[in-house]
Amino acid sequence: MADEVCSTEKMVAWCRKTTAKDIIIATEAGMLHRLQKECPDKHFIPAPTDRCACNECRFMKMNTLEKLRDCMTTLEPQVELPPAILERARRPIERMLEISALPLENAG
């Protein structure tokens, strides 16, 4: 159970606002560095799990702005999935976006 599930910018805002001094963060390791710089009075604890060391995802590190630009320009490579899988994948993404749009009133 998480106190907050959010996008990158909302994560920074939540960490700034909360009165908690120790915060467990499940995100990419580079984000921990940014949080420590922006909130030096807080202690950030990385949260890899038994199932995923999400703070050290080798696949995320393969993404670059140049690759994203090229992909958006050429629409390659294309990933084609069956409609049932697309629907199952769409639900958690939509839920994440709904949650990230909630106000920060619960911070602290």
Name which of 56, 62, 1 is nearest 31 in CA terms: 56
Q: What is the pTM of this model?
A: 0.51
Q: Which domain holds residue 51?
A: 8-101
The C-alpha atoms of residue 61 and residue 58 are separated, in whole angstroms, by 5
CATH number for 52: 3.40.50
Please say if the pLDDT value at position 95 is more than 60: yes
Q: How many domains does the chain have?
A: 1
**pLDDT at site 51:** 63
Q: Are 26 and 55 in contact (CB under 8 A)?
A: yes
Name which of 34, 36, 39, 33 is nearest 16 in CA terms: 39
Domain for residue 20, yes or no? yes
Domain for residue 107, yes or no? no
Please say if the pLDDT value at position 7 is more than 80: no
